Amino acid sequence: MEAKVLTEHYDKDEYRFLDGYKKHGGYQMLEQAFKMQPKDIVEQVKSAGLRGRGGAGFPTGVKWGFLPDNGEPRYLVCNADEGEPGTFKDRLMMERAPHQLIEGMIISAFATGSHKSYIYIRGEYNYPAEVVKQAIDEAYKAGLLGKNILGSGFDHDMDIYLGAGAYICGEETGLLSSLEGKKGQPKLKPPFPAIKGYLGKPTIVNNVETLAAVIYILRDGVEGYRKFGTEKSAGTKLFSVSGNVVKPGNYEVPLGYPLMDLINNECGGLKPGRKLKAVIPGGSSAPVLTAQECLDATMDYECLAQKGSMLGSGAVIVMDDSNCMVDSLSVLMHFYHHESCGQCTPCREGTGWLNKIVHSIAKGEGRLQDIDLILKVAENMKGRTICALSDAAALPAISFVSKFRDEFEFYVREGRSKVKGVSYAEM
């Protein structure tokens, strides 16, 4: 069953505008937040167990707690650089409920003592950015942004910044480099952005869905928020389901929800006559699950980690038996090679070689030893770089090859796909 907490009013057009948003309870929690002590809000977010919804799943309240108390100005940055293949939930949130994001951000800014925030939106999201921009204008006019918000004495300015096409800017330090007007290359951590972030100042970077969820932690209280989800994966989550299902789309369900229910109930199952082959449960960087592994998988951080994959951004890519795993991996490796920022050798070279090797197999020019070479190259890319992109390319490669090795071997031996009707597509 869907559990619409964040998305309860997404079907109403008026919800996109200030009046409509207020009609459905909008900005009431901001007023309540101003009656609280900022540190109590941070504690409440910690106790609620909210974890980052962008991909890494880091506890939000803990992240906020890292801010140093040194009197430096602090920045809040919303990561709306949604680029993880398979993910399209932040776009929905910005298009349907821009004020929800703004309210969540003002509350979060108040809790963390920040007087300036940026919403960094990927450049291709021209329309969502326009919707958010109009909402910010509305909020300024209504005294919800700027000086002395709602008479609270709290000042906060908010602006948007458009990226220009780079997956790596979804990585928080890459995003900050980009926001600073440079190429979006990630920075070595530590120091983490909470200590030295935007222009060297303490900065909190949170995903769109994470910031919006803060509102409902205040509204429902820790217990109310924890009514959904599991002990370690609290609350609801938006899942973007795509691929071979009858009804792809965004679905908000409690964390811990069975993967097969999501596919069969919410998404209408597979197309007639098709069998499930595999699912990528958390965006293209998440190791693939076999159909067998999907049977008892639940959509929470622990279960998917236990299965050697991850919840990631909540992008569920469902693959039926019409897909060739060699072909699919060639698409993914092309992507990571294209998006590697190039500063770390294992990633720059590794993604290049993985792309070349997988494509040579998909062209029918592979050698049997190339299959182990994929694993060897991928192993050497893990944990040796500044950011997680290298691992994000290596892990899917390892999972595809080790779980569907027969398809790779067949392709090498026969020079063609084991799956009927699949031929090599030049990228």
Partner 1 sequence: MFKLSDSGIEFIKKELERYESKLSAIIPALYRVQKEHGWVSPDAVVFLAEIMDIPESQINEVLKFYTMFNQKPVGKKHVQVCCNLSCAMNGGRELVDHLCKSFNVKPGEVSEDGQVTVTAVECLGSCGTAPMMQVNDAYYENLNHESAVEIIKKLEV
122 binds partner 1 (CB under 8 A): yes
Q: How far is the CB of 400 from partner 1 (least distance, A)?
A: 11
Q: How far is the CB of 322 from partner 1 (least distance, A)?
A: 8
Task: Sheet containing 116-121: give its strands across.
Answer: 157-162, 116-121, 75-80, 203-207
53 binds partner 1 (CB under 8 A): no
- Phi, psi values for residue 169, rounded to 5°: -75, -5
- Phi, psi values for residue 309, rounded to 5°: -120, -155
- Strand pairing category for 203-207 and 75-80: parallel
**Can you spell out the DSSP letters for 59-100?**
BHHHHHHT---SS---EEEEEE---STT--HHHHHHHH-HHH
A 10 A CB-CB count for 253 gives: 23
Candidates 106-114, 147-155, 164-172, 377-385: pick the segment binding partner 1 (CB under 8 A). Answer: 164-172
Residue placing its CB nearer to partner 1 in the complex, 208 or 297: 208
Residue 191 carries which side chain, given as an amino acid letter? P
Nearest partner of 120 among 183, 64, 194, 170, judged by Cα: 170
Q: How far is the CB of 357 from partner 1 (least distance, A)?
A: 18
Q: How far is the CB of 287 from partner 1 (least distance, A)?
A: 14
Which of 79, 244, 390, 399 touches partner 1 by CB under 8 A? 244
163 binds partner 1 (CB under 8 A): yes
- The answer, yes or no, to whether the previous bond of 191 is cis (omega within 30 of 0) is yes
In whole angstroms, what is the distance from residue 306 CA to residue 427 CA? 34
Q: How far is the CB of 193 from partner 1 (least distance, A)?
A: 15
Q: How far is the CB of 180 from partner 1 (least distance, A)?
A: 5
181 binds partner 1 (CB under 8 A): yes
CA distances from 32 to 40, 139, 159, 201, 216 (A): 12, 17, 24, 29, 12
182 binds partner 1 (CB under 8 A): yes
A 10 A CB-CB count for 345 gives: 12
Helix axes 325-339, 345-362, angle to 10 degrees: 150
Residue placing its CB nearer to partner 1 in the complex, 246 or 295: 246
203 binds partner 1 (CB under 8 A): no
179 binds partner 1 (CB under 8 A): yes
CA distances from 36 to 41, 42, 43, 134, 141 (A): 7, 11, 11, 29, 25
In whole angstroms, what is the distance from residue 207 CA to residue 91 CA? 12
Ranges within 300-329 binding partner 1 (CB under 8 A): 315, 317, 319, 323, 327-328
Three-class SS of residue 8?
Answer: coil
**Ramachandran quadrant class, 256 (left: phi over 0; alpha: psi -120 to 50; beta: rest):** left
295 binds partner 1 (CB under 8 A): no
Candidates 140-148, 162-170, 255-263, 366-374: pick the segment binding partner 1 (CB under 8 A). Answer: 162-170
85 binds partner 1 (CB under 8 A): yes
Candidates 125-133, 134-142, 215-223, 398-406: pick the segment binding partner 1 (CB under 8 A). Answer: 125-133
Which of 114, 242, 355, 385 touches partner 1 by CB under 8 A? 242
Q: How far is the CB of 66 from partner 1 (least distance, A)?
A: 21
Rounded to the nearest 5 degrees, what angle is found at the Cα of 340, between the Cα atoms of 338 and 341? 120
120 binds partner 1 (CB under 8 A): no
Q: How far is the CB of 269 from partner 1 (least distance, A)?
A: 15
Which of 127, 189, 268, 345 touches partner 1 by CB under 8 A? 127
Q: How far is the CB of 181 from partner 1 (least distance, A)?
A: 3
Ranges within 347-386 binding partner 1 (CB under 8 A): none
Residues touching partner 1: how many (CB under 8 A)?
56
Task: Note the Cα 288 to chain centre separation in Å.
Answer: 17
Q: Tell me the CB-side half-sphere exposure of residue 50, using CA atoms within 13 A.
A: 32
Residue placing its CB nearer to partner 1 in the complex, 95 or 302: 95
Q: How far is the CB of 284 from partner 1 (least distance, A)?
A: 6
141 binds partner 1 (CB under 8 A): no
In whole angstroms, what is the distance from residue 12 CA to residue 20 CA? 8
Is 218 in contact with 29 (CB distance < 8 Å)? yes
Q: How far is the CB of 419 from partner 1 (least distance, A)?
A: 12
Residue placing its CB nearer to partner 1 in the complex, 316 or 357: 316
Which stretches of the chain bind partner 1, using CB under 8 A?
Answer: 82-88, 90-91, 122-127, 159, 161-167, 178-184, 198-199, 240-244, 248-250, 280, 284, 315, 317, 319, 323, 327-328, 331-332, 335, 338-339, 341, 425, 427
